[in-house]
C-alpha cells in the first residue's frame, strides 16, 4: 500500500499517468463484464489484464470447458426429472454475452436459450470478449500488471501498474478487483480469508491440459463393452456409452470419466503423487470434448484433474514450484492414458494452460459475508444484486476427501447475492467481483461458478460507474437506484 506522499517520491520513475472513473483489475470471467458494465453506464473505464487476452479461465486460459450458473443446478436424477421446469436466474450482460458467443460460432447452443453449461471455443472467446469490452467504450491494457494501491486514510485513490516495461499511475475514483487472487484488495488493506475454517487449507486447483489424436469413438466403444471402466461422474448418476455415442453423433460436446487401469497402475506404483500431497490422485480426471468453430472435435480432448493441493496463491515461491510440478504430473498421467485407455494409444500433448486453475484464493471480507446457511435456506436480501442457484461444489482439500456437492436455495432454488458482499469492509472506493466476493469457504463453492462471476461483475461495474458519477463511495451508493439500473440492463434480482 502506498500513500500520496509515497507516490510523490517516485513520480520521476513513472512512464505515464492517467485519470479515469473506474479501473478494473483482471479481465477474466468477472472482469471483462465489469468493465463493459462500467463503460456502458457512462464511466471512463480502464481494464488492466496481465495476459495477452481477456476471458480468463473460462476462455483463453482453457481451464474451464463447462460454465454453469444460469439456472438452479439439480443433482443426480433430479437433473432429468426437472429439466423442463428450469427458471432462468441470471440474465443481463451474462445472457447477452451468451448470445454473442452463439452468433460467433463460439459456443454450443441456441441464441436466446441460456444453456445449463456454457461449452465454448476458447480461442474465439478471446475475440468475443475483446469486442464486447471495446464496443462499450472501455480501454484495455493487455500484458499490464497491478503493482500496488494508492490509499489515503483508508480511501483508495489509484493504482500503480506496469505496462510495456514501465510504471504507470492510474488515478481512479473506483477500483474493481476482479483479479481472482484479490491482489489489489489485499494490497489496499482489505481483510480476507483463505480456505476452510479449521486450518485455512483451500480447495485444490487443477490444470486442464489438451490432448490431440484421440479416437474418442474407440474409447466409447470400449466402455460399451466394459461399463465397469466408467468412473463416477460429476453429478452422481451412472453414465451410458450408448447415450454418449448418440450425443456425439448429434454433434454435442460430451464429457465423462474413465477408470481404465487405475487400480492396476496404483498397485504397481505407476501413478504419480499429486503436487502438494503425499498420495496419488483419487481418479483419472474428466475427459471433455472440444467445441471449435461451430462443431465438436472428436479427436481432441481436454483432461481435467485435481492436482494442485494446499496452494496459497499469495506464496509465489510455492506457486512457481506448482507450475513446474504440475507439468511433470501431467506427462505422467498422459503416459497412463496411452498405456491403459483405448483410443488414447497415439495421443500427444497439445497444450499446457498458461496458468494454474485455482478454485479458491483470497475471499475478501465484505460488509456482509455469505454463509453456508444463506445458500442452503435461500436467503433473500434487500440490497440484492442478483440470484445464485449454482450448486455447492467443494473439491476435497486433501487426496481421498470426497467432493461435496449440494443443491442450494431452499424451496425457491436460489439465494441472493447482496451488494454488501461486493464491498470490502476495510477499504473505500473499491469493489470486488467474481471469486473474491465475500462468502465463506463452503458457499464460495457456489458463488465461484462462471455465470455467477459474470453476474457479480455486472453488478460491480454498474455500481462503480454510478458511484463515480455521483462522486460518492460505493459504500454510500443508493442501492435502490443501483437495482433500478441493473433491472434496466435486463438483470434479474
In a domain, 398, yes or no: yes
In a domain, 356, yes or no: no
Strands (E), 41-154: 45-48, 139-141, 144-152
In a domain, 370, yes or no: yes
Residues 210 and 162 reside in one and the same domain: no
Q: What is the DSSP code string of 260-306?
A: TTHHHHHHHT-SPPPTTSSS--SS--EEEEEEETTEEEEEEEEEE-E
* Spatial separation of the C-alpha atoms in residues 249 and 220, rounded to whole Å: 12
* Spatial separation of the C-alpha atoms in residues 71 and 388, rounded to whole Å: 8
- End residue of a domain, out of 351, 382, 414: 351
Highest mean predicted confidence (pLDDT) among 33-47, 58-72, 383-397: 33-47
As given in the structure block, the three cell numbers for residue 285 are 480426471
Q: Burial of 404 by CB count in 10 Å (0-12 exposed, 13-18 middle, 19+ buried)? A: middle
Give the DSSP H/E element, type plus range, for residue 234.
Answer: none
SS3 116: coil
In a domain, 39, yes or no: yes
Residues 238 and 164 reside in one and the same domain: no
Residues 171 and 232 reside in one and the same domain: no
Residues 147 and 272 reside in one and the same domain: no
Count CA within 13 A, CB hemisphere, residue 398. 6
CATH of the domain at 412: 3.50.50.60
SS3 388: strand
Contact assessment for residue 389 and residue 463, using Cβ atoms and an 8 Å cutoff: no
Nearest Cα to 442, choosing from 201, 196, 236, 198? Answer: 196
Residues 412 and 342 reside in one and the same domain: no
As given in the structure block, the three cell numbers for residue 119 are 461449452
pLDDT band per the 50, 70, 90 thresholds, residue 83: low
Give the DSSP H/E element, type plus range, for residue 255.
Answer: strand 255-257
The number of distinct structural domains making up the chain is 2
- According to the model, what pLDDT value does residue 2 have? 67
- End residue of a domain, out of 351, 371, 389: 351
Phi-psi region at 143: left, alpha or beta (left = phi > 0; alpha = psi -120 to 50) = left
* Spatial separation of the C-alpha atoms in residues 380 and 5, rounded to whole Å: 44
In a domain, 473, yes or no: yes
Residues 266 and 235 reside in one and the same domain: yes
Residues 458 and 386 reside in one and the same domain: yes
Q: What is the tens place of the pLDDT at every residue in 316-359?
A: 999 999 999 999 999 999 999 999 999 999 999 999 999 999 99
- End residue of a domain, out of 351, 374, 406: 351
- According to the model, what pLDDT value does residue 238 have? 65
Nearest-Å Rg of the Cα atoms of the chain is 22
More confident residue, 6 or 431: 431
Residues 57 and 118 reside in one and the same domain: yes
Residues 303 and 341 reside in one and the same domain: yes
Q: What is the tens place of the pLDDT at every residue in 457-476?
A: 999 999 999 999 999 999 99
Q: Report the predicted TM-score, pTM, of the whole model to 2 decimal places.
A: 0.96
Residues 225 and 154 reside in one and the same domain: no
Contact assessment for residue 196 and residue 441, using Cβ atoms and an 8 Å cutoff: yes
* Spatial separation of the C-alpha atoms in residues 2 and 13, rounded to whole Å: 15
In a domain, 16, yes or no: yes
Q: What is the tens place of the pLDDT at every residue in 258-297?
A: 999 999 999 999 999 999 998 999 899 999 999 998 999 9
Which residues span the domain enclosing 466?
4-198+361-488
In a domain, 133, yes or no: yes
Residues 229 and 277 reside in one and the same domain: yes
Residues 187 and 319 reside in one and the same domain: no
In a domain, 493, yes or no: no
Amino acid at each position: 500500500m502506498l500513500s500520496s506522499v509515497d507516490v510523490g517520491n517516485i513520480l520521476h520513475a513513472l512512464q505515464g499517468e492517467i485519470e479515469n472513473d473506474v479501473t478494473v483489475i483482471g479481465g477474466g470471467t468477472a472482469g471483462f463484464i465489469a468493465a463493459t458494465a462500467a463503460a456502458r453506464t457512462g464511466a471512463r473505464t480502464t481494464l488492466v489484464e496481465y495476459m495477452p487476452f481477456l476471458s480468463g479461465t473460462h476462455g483463453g486460459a482453457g481451464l474451464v470447458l463447462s460454465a454453469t450458473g444460469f439456472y438452479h443446478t439439480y443433482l443426480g436424477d433430479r437433473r432429468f426429472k426437472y429439466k423442463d421446469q428450469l427458471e432462468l436466474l441470471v440474465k443481463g450482460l451474462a445472457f447477452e454475452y451468451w448470445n454473442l458467443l452463439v452468433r460467433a460460432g463460439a459456443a454450443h447452443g441456441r441464441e436466446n436459450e441460456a444453456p445449463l453449461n456454457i461449452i465454448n471455443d476458447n480461442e474465439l472467446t478471446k475475440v468475443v470478449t475483446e469486442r464486447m469490452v471495446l464496443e462499450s467504450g472501455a480501454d484495455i491494457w493487455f500484458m499490464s500488471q497491478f503493482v500496488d494501491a494508492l490509499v489515503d486514510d483508508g480511501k483508495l485513490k489509484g493504482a500503480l501498474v506496469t505496462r510495456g516495461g514501465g510504471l504507470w499511475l492510474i488515478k481512479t475514483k473506483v477500483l474493481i478487483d476482479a483479479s481472482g487472487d484479490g491482489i489489489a484488495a489485499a494490497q489496499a488493506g482489505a481483510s480476507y480469508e483463505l480456505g476452510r475454517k479449521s486450518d485455512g487449507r483451500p480447495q485444490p486447483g487443477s490444470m486442464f491440459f489438451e490432448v490431440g489424436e484421440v479416437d474418442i469413438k474407440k474409447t466409447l466403444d470400449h466402455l460399451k463393452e466394459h461399463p465397469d471402466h466408467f468412473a463416477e461422474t460429476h453429478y452422481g448418476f451412472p453414465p451410458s456409452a450408448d447415450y454418449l455415442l448418440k450425443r456425439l453423433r448429434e454433434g454435442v460436446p460430451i464429457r465423462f470419466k474413465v477408470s481404465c487401469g487405475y487400480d492396476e497402475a496404483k498397485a504397481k506404483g505407476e501413478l504419480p503423487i499429486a503436487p502438494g500431497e503425499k498420495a496419488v490422485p483419487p481418479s483419472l480426471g474428466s475427459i471433455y470434448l472440444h467445441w471449435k468453430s461451430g462443431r465438436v472435435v472428436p479427436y481432441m480432448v481436454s483432461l481435467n484433474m485435481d492436482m494442485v493441493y494446499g496452494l496459497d496463491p499469495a506464496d509465489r515461491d510455492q506457486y512457481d514450484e506448482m507450475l513446474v510440478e504440475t507439468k511433470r504430473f501431467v506427462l505422467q498421467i498422459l503416459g497412463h492414458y496411452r498405456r491403459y485407455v483405448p483410443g488414447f494409444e497415439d495421443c500427444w500433448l497439445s497444450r499446457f494452460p498458461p496458468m494454474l486453475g485455482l478454485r479458491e484464493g483470497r475471499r475478501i471480507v465484505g460488509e456482509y459475508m455469505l454463509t453456508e446457511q444463506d445458500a442452503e435456506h435461500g436467503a433473500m436480501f434487500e440490497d440484492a444484486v442478483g440470484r445464485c442457484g449454482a450448486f455447492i461444489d467443494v473439491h476435497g482439500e486433501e487426496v481421498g476427501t470426497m467432493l461435496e456437492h449440494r443443491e442450494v436455495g431452499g424451496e425457491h432454488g436460489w439465494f441472493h447475492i447482496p451488494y454488501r458482499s461486493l464491498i470490502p469492509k476495510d477499504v473505500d472506493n473499491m469493489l470486488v467481483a467474481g471469486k473474491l466476493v465475500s462468502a465463506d469457504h463452503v458457499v464460495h463453492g457456489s458463488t465461484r461458478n462462471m455465470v455467477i462471476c459474470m453476474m457479480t461483475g455486472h453488478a460491480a461495474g454498474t455500481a462503480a460507474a454510478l458511484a463515480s458519477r455521483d462522486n460518492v463511495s460505493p459504500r454510500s451508493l443508493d442501492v435502490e437506484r443501483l437495482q433500478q439500473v441493473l433491472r434496466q440492463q435486463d438483470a434479474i434480482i
